[in-house]
Every structure is written in structure tokens, then in C-alpha cells.
Structure 1
Amino acid sequence: MPIYSSSSDSEPETAPVTKLFGRKRPVHAVLGGGKVADVLLWKNTKVSAALLIGVTLIWFLFEVAEYNFVTLFCHISMTSMLLLFIWSRVAEFFNWNDPRIPEIKLVESTMREIASTFHARFDQILSKLINVACGKDHPGHFILIICSLYILSVIGTCFSFVNLLFLVLLSIETLPFLYDRYEKEVDRLVYKAMRRVRKMFNSFDSQVLNKIPRGPIKDKKKY
């Protein structure tokens, strides 16, 4: 699917700006329209802020403090157990109430919704890549995906896995919200950029690619 539905080079400057990636639904519906979309678009501010703070804290502990997972897990477990033990003994000595530990349960429906949303998006991306690789889509998309993967591989060599994962999660937490808030401005800027890229490609195609000599096409012999 093209990024923009219109591909004419003679498109007037006053042409209506189309939505990013040619979408017709609002951003909330594109993201699934459920609790996951509410979190990514900061409709549920407390959960979104807690998730962002948690991801940042994990990144800080692993990348800045240079913890590894086993050491961090053991230290957190030891500290928690030590605090609970001291609290229980002090409460027993002074006849206070025992510490109340809230029971933590993961709602099954929420987990299924998150898994279903990511599964649908992953399946959609995988199908798109397979169609492009098999030549069932526009050839320009094949070149665009190859260049994007190459750029991503270069970025991967500049960052550790933890840093790269943190940047991805940070982008997921912020970019949909910013786009939803400044949708018209972003669509207008991307639209203008795509028109310029399209004009450059058409100019390159007419001045370079079309001037490459091609041999005569021979008819296949019929037996």
C-alpha cells in the first residue's frame, strides 16, 4: 500500500493532504481501539506514565548502573524479603497489624488483548514483507524496505541491544501520542516531503533510467 494514495507528479500545491500511510481510520482505531491504544495515546495517563517510568528505570539499571538481569532480580528479591521480614518482626513486637501485601493478578482479558494486538500487527508486517520480497508489490517498496533495513542494521551497530530496545519502547510510547496530537501538521509536512521525493525520482527516471540503452526484444520461438 503506498504511503500516499495520489502519485501524480502534476499534483497541484492546493491538493488535499491525504492521511499518513493512506489510512482512513483514526489513530486510536489503527492501534486496536482498546486498552493498548489508550495506553499508547496517553488516554490512561497513570498507566502510560507508570509504563514510561518503568521502562526508563529498567534502562537506567541495565545500561547506566550496568546490572545484569540475574543480579538485579536477586538484589530486588533480597531487599524485598528483608524489608518484609523486619516489618513483620517489628509489627509482632509492638502488636501492630501485619503488613498487607496486595495480591497482584494479571487480568487474562488484558493479556489476551495485548497479545492479539501485537500478533495482528506482526502478521500484517510479515505479510507485507513477503509480498514485497516476492515481487507482488510496487518495486519502489522493495528498494525502500531494503534501504530501511540497511539503515536499521547500521543503527544497530551503534547501539547496544538494551539501548535500541529502550529507544523502540520510548518511540512507541511517545510517537503515536505526538502524531495524534499534531496530526494535521505532520500529515502536511510528510505530504510535502513525499511530493519532493516523487519529483526527484521522476526526474531521475526521465533523465537517467530512460536513457539507458536497451537491446531489442526478441520474440520467443514457438514450437
Structure 2
Amino acid sequence: MAHNTPSDSDNEIITTRPKLFEHEKSIHEILGGGKVADILLWRNTNVSAAIFVGVTVMWFLFEIVEYNLVPLICHISITIMLVLYIWSILADILKWKGPQIPEIVLQESFFNDLASILYTRFNQLLKMLLYISCGIDLPLFLLNIGSLYIVSVIGSYFSFVNLIYIGFLSIQTLPFLFDRYDEEINNLFGDVTFILKKNYRKFDKNYIKKIPRGPMKAKKNQ
């Protein structure tokens, strides 16, 4: 008589290994497929690098140098105005070409794309959290509760500026890494999820199912 060993039943899950993100479209299309997606995936290297350096400088000034926001904006504005003023004076004296002020510094489409991506992803995040909170997948629910608690503990050791900067680094690195190492990340996530579910089934079999149940269920069946 053949008996199913625990390892046999556990290994069945490998055929349906879960993925971190189920998506048929590319990461570029998921991010909107516009200029914002190009920047987040470092396809426009110059712009992505400029934004990265700019935000890093801002973080350094706020967190390390401890600049306040209003004085920083005023000092940057004063510096830019002085540079343009000196440039214009020298251009008149030396017959150089003066500074060319563009009519539009930032394109409106950039902000529209960014707002659309944030709106869509925030709604998806809320739906995912609500789905997990319903208790349909208990191991996933416990994993998220534990992860949020760990993040809250880590976040208590960082200032608001540091958290914003860490969030920016995540936005500029995680989509790029996932786009390049999609298969490896999904395989790792599947392995971790498989191990967690396997250990949960053992815990459920050895402890939870051995807890005595009350007579309420028997009465309802009668």
C-alpha cells in the first residue's frame, strides 16, 4: 500500500510556484511606457543620473548640512539669479551669446505621467492590502504583518528626510533591477514562499489541528 510522504505533498507546490508580480506586460509598459518609465528604468541615462545626483545633493544639504527648506530655496534662487546676471553683463561686454531662457522648463506631460503612475499603483497597493487582510492566504497575511512591523521598527530610527530619500532610491533602483533580473527575483520569491508554506503546513498539522475544538460545529451539523 502506497503512502504519501510529507515531502511528496510539499513538492507539489513547486509546479505552481508563485511569482512576486504576475504581469503579462513588460515593466516599461506597467510603469506607463512614457518618459517617467524611461527615467525609472534608466533608459534615459543622462536624465536619470541628473535626477539621482540632484536628489542626493538635496538629501545631503537637508540631512548632513542641516539646511532648512526656505533658506535653501532662497540661496539657490539667489545663486541662479547672480549667475544669470553676471553672464548677461559679460555677454554684452564681450559680445557673447546671452543666456537663453526656455519658455517651458518642465513638460506638463512629465507631471501627468507621474501622477497617473502614482494613482494607479497606490490603488493597486490598497486592493492588495485589502485582499490580504481578508485572511484568504494566512501565511501571506502573517508575512505582510511581520514585514510591516519590521519596516515600522526600522523607520523609527530614521528621520523623515531619510525615509523620503530611501523611498526615492527604491523607486529609482527596484524597477530597474526587476526589469533586468525578472526571472531570478521571481524564482527567489517562489522558493521563499514555498519554504514558508511548507513550514506553516507542518505547524498547522502538528499544533493547530491538535487544538481541541468546541461542540458548536457538531451542534450546527445536527
Q: Deviations over 1:85-117 (max 9, x none)?
A: 223333334454433333343322332121111
- Corresponding residue number in structure 2 for 1:124: 124
Contact 2:19–2:189 at 8 Å: present in 1 too?
Answer: no
Could you list the structure 1 runs, at least 4 aligned residues long, displaced by more than 6 angstroms after superposition: none
Using structure 1 for the length normalisation, give the TM-score.
0.82
- Corresponding residue number in structure 1 for 2:114: 114
Give the alignment of 1:92-111 within 5 angstroms.
Answer: 92-111=92-111
- Deviation of 1:140 (Å): 4.0
Contact 2:18–2:193 at 8 Å: present in 1 too?
Answer: no
- Deviation of 1:205 (Å): 0.9
Structure number with higher relative contact order (C-alpha < 8 Å, ≥ 6 residues apart): 2
Q: Secondary structure at the match of 1:158?
A: coil
The reply on whether 1:163 has 2:167 as its aligned counterpart is: no
Aligned sequence identity (%): 50
- Corresponding residue number in structure 2 for 1:10: 11
Alpha-carbon distance in 2 for matches of 1:210, 1:95:
88
Alpha-carbon distance in 1 for matches of 2:87, 2:36:
37
Contact 2:139–2:197 at 8 Å: present in 1 too?
Answer: no
**AA at the equivalent of 2:88:** S
Deviates more, 1:197-206 or 1:42-51: 42-51
Contact 2:39–2:47 at 8 Å: present in 1 too?
Answer: yes
CA-atom RMSD in angstroms? 2.4
Give the alignment of 1:1-223 within 5 angstroms.
Answer: 9-11=10-12, 15=15, 19-133=19-133, 135=134, 137-217=136-216, 219=219
Alpha-carbon distance in 2 for matches of 1:113, 1:89:
39
**AA at the equivalent of 1:167:** I
Contact 2:32–2:113 at 8 Å: present in 1 too?
Answer: no
Alpha-carbon distance in 1 for matches of 2:58, 2:152:
24
Alpha-carbon distance in 1 for matches of 2:113, 2:39:
13
Change (3 A) 1:34 1:101: closer
Using structure 2 for the length normalisation, give the TM-score.
0.82
- Deviation of 1:11 (Å): 1.9
- Deviation of 1:82 (Å): 2.0
Alpha-carbon distance in 2 for matches of 1:77, 1:108:
22
Alpha-carbon distance in 1 for matches of 2:184, 2:19:
11
- Corresponding residue number in structure 2 for 1:3: none
Alpha-carbon distance in 2 for matches of 1:87, 1:173:
35
Alpha-carbon distance in 2 for matches of 1:99, 1:113:
30
Contact 2:40–2:175 at 8 Å: present in 1 too?
Answer: yes
Alpha-carbon distance in 2 for matches of 1:90, 1:198:
71
Structure 2 spans left out of the alignment, 5+ residues: 1-8
Higher helix share: 2
Alpha-carbon distance in 2 for matches of 1:82, 1:11:
70
Q: Deviations over 1:100-138 (max 9, x none)?
A: 3333433223321211111111122223334444x3743
Change (3 A) 1:103 1:171: same
- Deviation of 1:188 (Å): 1.8
Alpha-carbon distance in 1 for matches of 2:87, 2:25:
53
